Amino acid sequence: MNSTSVQSDIVLHLNHISKRFGSLLANDDISLELRRGEVLALLGENGAGKTTLMNILFGHYTADSGEIRVFGRSLQSSSPKAALSAGIGMVHQHFTLADNLTVLENIMLGTEPLWHLWQRQQNARQRVIALADQFGLSMHPDAKIADLSVGERQRVEILKALYRDVKILILDEPTAVLTPQETEALFTTLHKLTQAELSVMFISHKLQEVMRVSDRVIVLRTGRVVATVPTAETTPAALAELMVGRPIPQPTRQFQTPGEALLQLAAVTVASQDGRPLIDQLDLTVRQAEIVGIAGVSGNGQAALFNLLSGLLTPTSGTVRLYGQVCDRFTATDMVRANIARIPEDRHTTGLIGDMSIWENLILADYAEPAFSQKGFLKRHSAIAHANQIIQAFDVRCPSPFATVRLLSGGNMQKLILGRELSRQPQIILASQPTRGLDLGAVTYVHQQLLNARDRGAGILLISEDLDELLSLCDRLCVIYQGKLSAPMPTETVSLQTLGLMMAGKDKADAI
């Protein structure tokens, strides 16, 4: 989608922006310019300062120094309101929508004087529908946000900005949550936007997308601009190296012969409170030294499967065997004792306790073990020593073990979780979306850790929506659809297309 006529007039200048969070220099003297009708990709690892920079531009943060010029005018007050009226809109990575309100209400908020006695809903509705048609963002204006899919919510976010006539649209990791089809639709929309002479800042760490969608690329590393290149003149490999600052090693996958069955599920059903099956008559075996992948669109029972094996749910029927023994107690403690490591989907809510320190987070499962407690008192020194060890071994970038977890980047949080779970030398590893939202370096790291665990003889159940990840790591693959699991397939026999169709509910026979 490289537009051939990139116009040279510049709509936005960032001049020497710096921002410091405590001891972390998040943005270090960043300057860039954005041209009319172009897609400018802002590429960088997590923690490189992309989101911070955009939050400064959109007025969530105030820069410590530097200047923003929009259409030749200096953008003074730092608030989203000022940014919006200067013509800058932003689609946040974590959507800023109110679930209990309708699409239209979310879009209209703040566009009318607050003290009007009524809302001009009719005009607004027509405008929203017109904009949606123009840019391929089909949408029902009166639908509740809570009822929309993730892709639809993102369209609402884009509409929100367009409704305000923005000329510059910032998209923060827009594809992180989308299915391949939704990503395609987004790219079409972006193309229409640039044709309408809007300028787009596209924040991403996915190289393929950046190559496809952008006209120019700016690469950030540790808060600095390391390169500005026209997309046509670069390659994914070159960008990757710029981004990480060193060549990226590919994870090595050795041949392993699977050993005994570690985890066996036979006809396991878990029903929700209203009696609907979340997972339905599920059969699954994970053996020593193998990775079994579960593909599927999220919401098809993955969470229930993960929670069952984490000890957060109890099966309604069927048997679960751990190391050949029938398991009849399903509590989190039992699963920890059974040496099951859990890498949950959501780092922020179930993986870590954001407001607690690193060393505390690292003993969440083991705090009562003799290694860390004695006669009811915490052995702080050994816990901190343990934390230092994991920080070293898993290369967690943090000021100290006393740092608050909430302030770490996503990649470092994930390394902490990996460190906590893998340092226990688990026999069984449950990993759900272990690389979601992580940057290239971190993804490779996580993959290598999982492969190492497999070489050590652990059995790994990998739940993921990233098909490339599944195809490159797994020995066997299953597809979950509406709570039912397909028979396992050796990875070599499966293609991307087959998986895609099976994820949409087609039988394997039909899919091939």
Partner 1 sequence: MNSINLLLGVEFWVATIRIATPLMFGTLGELLCERAGVLNLGIEGIMTMGAFVGWAAVYQGADLWIGVLLAAIAGMVFGLLHSLFTVYLGLSQHVSGIGITLLAANLAYFFYRVLLPQVNTPPKITPFQPFAIPLLSQIPFLGKAVFTQTPLTYAAFILVAIAAYLLYRTPIGLAIRMVGENPSAAEAQGINIYSIRTLAVVIGSAFMAIAGAFLTLSAFDSFFVNLINGRGWICIALVIFASWQPFKALLGALLFAGFDALQLRLQQKIGAAIPYQLFLMLPYIFSIIALSVMARRAGYPKALMVPFRKGER
Find out whether 200 and 6 touch, Cβ atoms under 8 Å.
no
Residue 276 DSSP symbol? -
272 binds partner 1 (CB under 8 A): no
412 binds partner 1 (CB under 8 A): no
Closer CB to partner 1, 361 or 449, in the complex: 361
Separation of alpha carbons 47 and 170, rounded Å: 18
Of 85, 256, 281, 350, the one binding partner 1 (CB under 8 A) is 85
81 binds partner 1 (CB under 8 A): yes
**Least spacing, CB of residue 176 vs partner 1, in Å:** 17
Closer CB to partner 1, 21 or 369, in the complex: 21
User: Given the rule CB under 8 A, which of 77-85, 345-353, 431-439, 444-452 is the region that contacts partner 1?
Assistant: 77-85
Separation of alpha carbons 509 and 374, rounded Å: 58
255 binds partner 1 (CB under 8 A): no
> SS3 string of 177-201?
CCCHHHHHHHHHHHHHHHHCCCEEE
58 binds partner 1 (CB under 8 A): yes
123 binds partner 1 (CB under 8 A): no
353 binds partner 1 (CB under 8 A): no
User: Given the rule CB under 8 A, which of 87-95, 175-183, 225-233, 235-243 is the region that contacts partner 1?
Assistant: 87-95
Kindly write down the DSSP assignment for every residue of 127-179, as one continuous string: HHHHHHHHHT----TTSBGGGS-HHHHHHHHHHHHHHTT-SEEEEESTTTT--
CA distances from 208 to 41, 176, 204, 252 (A): 12, 13, 10, 22
Of 36, 92, 216, 386, the one binding partner 1 (CB under 8 A) is 92
Closest CA to 487 of 319, 259, 292, 322: 292
Closer CB to partner 1, 81 or 329, in the complex: 81
167 binds partner 1 (CB under 8 A): no
Site for partner 1 in 5-34 (CB under 8 A): 21
Find out whether 32 and 43 touch, Cβ atoms under 8 Å.
no
DSSP H helical segments within 371-439, as ranges? 380-393, 410-422
166 binds partner 1 (CB under 8 A): no
Of 43, 68, 95, 302, the one binding partner 1 (CB under 8 A) is 95
265 binds partner 1 (CB under 8 A): no
Of 17, 40, 61, 418, the one binding partner 1 (CB under 8 A) is 61
Longest distance between any two alpha carbons in the chain, whole Å: 73
**Least spacing, CB of residue 331 vs partner 1, in Å:** 25
H or E element at residue 202: strand 199-204
356 binds partner 1 (CB under 8 A): no
Separation of alpha carbons 465 and 295, rounded Å: 6
Q: Which residues bind partner 1 (CB under 8 A)?
A: 21, 55, 58, 60-62, 79-81, 84-85, 90, 92, 95-101, 105-106, 108-119, 160, 406-407
